[in-house]
Amino acid sequence: MRKRTDLIGLKSQKTMKHFLITGGAGFIGSHLAERLLSMPDTAVTVIDNFDDFYSSSQKHANLQTISEHPHFSLIEAPITHQNYLTKILRNQHFEAIIHLAAKAGVRNSIDSTKEYYDTNVMGTLALLEVTRSLSIRKFIYASSSSVYGENPNVPWRETDTDLQPISPYASSKISGEMLGRTYAHLHGIQFLALRFFTVYGSRQRPDLAIHKFADLILNGQPIVLYGDGSTRRDYTHISDIITGIEQALQYQGAGFEAFNIASGKPVTLQKLVSSLEVALGREAIFVHREEQPGDVFQTYADLSKSQQLLGYQPTVSLEEGLREFVQWKTALPHLTL
């Protein structure tokens, strides 16, 4: 895919909505870019540095279907390069920034805390400064269910103030939210923190549980289960996540808001693996290990606020979502069943 920095011209912008997506070559970002570009009179600019956390070839493949779209532009740069981004974007008019770029992964953040703060906190600060300089009024921020930490009061509500992060990744996400609250107060930016809960589906990062488990099952290798398999996660299909972002883009409220974007139906690790076995038509082999530091016992979202203010309603069941994931996974060219 050729790199594009020829941004949409000023003349065309007068008749279309233009959105800026950071991390747009990734799992969530590429799906969002496709969804937005499927709409009439819509342009998308993606910022991505193609970080080597996982293969950059997968990220380029994620953008393949939109790479030649006439209203798509790509800027290859780190989000921390505030002055460069302000300069290259200064003649553009954006409806919103959707900030999805981040160093991800709870366990990796424990050994690389400074790198996570440099990107997740200082990168968010740089983008907020870009937002202020360019007079962009809406900033949508990809937060995480991990901000709730070890909170035993489930389902988790956005009004919970007793956030107990247990990993540097989680604390970096809280820091991003607090920066957003400050900029909303001082500069009138509408900052919406969307707390995503365990996203899965086609193009999922290879380090995430469902993708790793699928590889191991297909290759006849054992799955390492940490704990007794009773941990619970609120798995959310990518299409529901993208719908939640779209609804946030339409939200007209002022200032700072946080919203849970989830399925609202947590399942145990045992249930997840058994459902994945059915979707793959293969049985898993298990090896049990002690629980890992930084992992919480459960994630479980209360969706009342998102339903009331955004009109959000998840529609994809775990079984349906896993079938979609397996269909994508087994169609990859390097995989033979």
- The residues, ordered by sequence, that sit 6+ positions from 175 with a Cβ below 8 Å of its Cβ are 117, 120, 121, 124
Reported as a pLDDT band with limits 50, 70 and 90, residue 3 is: low
Residue 6 within any structural domain of the chain: no
Residue 209: inside a domain, yes or no? yes
Average pLDDT (89-103) is 96
What integer pLDDT is reported at residue 7 of this predicted model?
Answer: 61
In whole angstroms, what is the distance from residue 99 CA to residue 167 CA?
21
Q: Which residues pair with 76 in a beta bridge?
A: 48
Mean pLDDT of 192-199: 98
Residue whose entry in the numeric block shows the structure tokens 């995989």: 335
User: Does residue 11 lie in a domain region?
Assistant: no
Which pLDDT belongs to residue 55?
86
In a domain, 336, yes or no: no
Average pLDDT in the chain: 92
pLDDT band at 14 (very low <50, low <70, confident <90, very high): low
CATH number of 95's domain: 3.40.50.720
Residue 94 pLDDT level (bands cut at 50, 70, 90): very high
In this predicted structure, the answer to whether residue 153 has a pLDDT above a threshold of 60 is: yes
User: pLDDT > 70: what percent of the chain?
Assistant: 93
pLDDT at 334: 57
pLDDT at 331: 87
DSSP string spanning 46-99? EEE---TTS-HHHHHHHTTTTTT-TTEEEEE--TT-HHHHHHHHTT---SEEEE
Q: What is the mean pLDDT of residues 55-72?
A: 94
Indicate whether 52 belongs to any domain: yes
Options 117, 148, 169, 200, the catalytic residue: 169
Q: Give the pTM.
A: 0.93
Is residue 224 predicted with pLDDT exceeding 80?
Answer: yes
Residue 312 lies in a domain: yes
Residue 167 has pLDDT above 50, yes or no: yes
Q: Which domain, by its residues, includes 27?
A: 17-330
Q: Over the stretch 227-261, which tens digit does the pLDDT of each residue have?
A: 777 889 999 999 999 999 999 999 999 899 999 99
Which DSSP symbol is given to 149? B
Answer yes or no: is pLDDT of 52 > 90.
Answer: no
**How much of the chain exceeds pLDDT 90, in percent?**
78
Q: Could you tell me if residue 7 is inside a domain?
A: no
Is residue 251 included in any domain, yes or no? yes
User: How many domains does the chain divide into?
Assistant: 1
Strand partners, 263: none
What b/e readout covers 243-256, taking b as 16+ CB neighbours within 10 angstroms?
bbbebbbebeeeeb
- Token pair for residue 61? 């493949």
169 catalytic per annotation: yes
CA distances 23 to 18, 49, 51, 264, 290, Å, are: 16, 8, 10, 26, 33
Q: How would residue 10 be classed by pLDDT, with cut points 50, 70 and 90? A: very low
110 against 74, higher pLDDT: 74
Two structure tokens written together for 212:
């790793």
pLDDT at 333 over 90: no
With cut-offs at 50, 70 and 90, classify the pLDDT of residue 2: very low
* pLDDT score at 102: 96
Q: Which residues pair with 223 in a beta bridge?
A: 286
Task: Using the predicted structure, report yes or no on whether residue 183 has a pLDDT greater than 80.
Answer: yes
